[in-house]
Amino acid sequence: MRSVYYRRPTQFALEEGMSGPERRFAYGEARFGFGGVLQALDCLWLNPAVATAAAEYKPRQLAAARQCGLRIPRTVITNDPEYAYAWASDLGRPFVYKPLSGVWHPEAGEIRILYTARLTDPAVVRDPALTRTAHMFQEWVDKRHEARSVVVGDQVYTVAIHARSNEGLVDWRADYDSHTYEPIELPADVRDGLVRLHRNLGLVYGACDLVATPDGGWVFLETNANGEWEWLEGEGGAPITGAIADVLQKGQA
């Protein structure tokens, strides 16, 4: 499972002399006090904090995506090495490991990035360490290219991502320098499915990762309620800033 290290960013320090329990109490009070006031505002949120937190659970996303008519990869979430091995063996094709809680993970004073890892040998998941926590494995989806679709209300802006390196073909986030970009239109059923999905999740905004398959199909991988989009305007010309401004200006429906 491939990873990269970065230096730890500067952290906000609480008052000098506070004990660990005091710091945790102060953090909790600030979160529930200031955060509670913000949540009480009667206004449009892009996105609502509660909906954003709930949408971080990938199993919920995948179930909702399928209910909305989107195709998803065959997926298993388990901490049982033998079950994972049987699943991967029955799959009979390459598969991938993806972290469930996001790609950024602090470790030993550094920030580790866990990219998607492509696996070909089912035996690798028989490692006893698998029992320590939950893991998500998905079938490898053959790619014509990938795409990021940004949903803003009922608008969907899609940019194809053509990766030109082996690392980028597995996970385009691993090698931005190898990409070329192309604004495209999704098939109507896929586009409408993405809009339904975000309504289902209570999100106003989402940055979705999709795979365009060699047979002309589309596979939904995930959506990120806080996903990046600005670079797509420069690379693909998608007018996302204006769409966000329009939604905010309109306000609460």
pLDDT digit string, tens, across residues 108-121: 667 777 889 999 99
State pTM to two decimals. Answer: 0.84
Topology of domain 49-72+141-250 in CATH is D-amino Acid Aminotransferase; Chain A, domain 1 (3.30.470)
Tell me how far apart the alpha carbons of residues 111 and 6 are, in angstroms, rounded to a whole number: 5
Tell me whether the CATH fold assigned to 49-72+141-250 matches the one assigned to 73-139. Answer: no
In this structure, which amino acid lies at residue 128? Answer: P
Nearest to 83 by CA among 140, 120, 141, 135: 135
In this structure, which amino acid lies at residue 208? Answer: C
* Architecture in CATH for domain 73-139: 2-Layer Sandwich (3.30)
Backbone angles phi, psi at 207, to 5 degrees: -110, 110
Nearest to 248 by CA among 35, 47, 34, 41: 47
Give the pLDDT confidence of 5-24 residue by residue, as tens digits.
Answer: 334 444 445 567 788 898 88
In the DSSP assignment, the letter for residue 107 is E
Tell me how far apart the alpha carbons of residues 14 and 31 are, in angstroms, rounded to a whole number: 14
**Residue-range domain boundaries for the chain:** 49-72+141-250, 73-139
Q: Is 157's pLDDT higher than 60?
A: yes
Question: Cβ neighbours of residue 84 under 8 Å, at least 6 residues apart?
Answer: 76, 78, 125, 126, 130, 135, 137
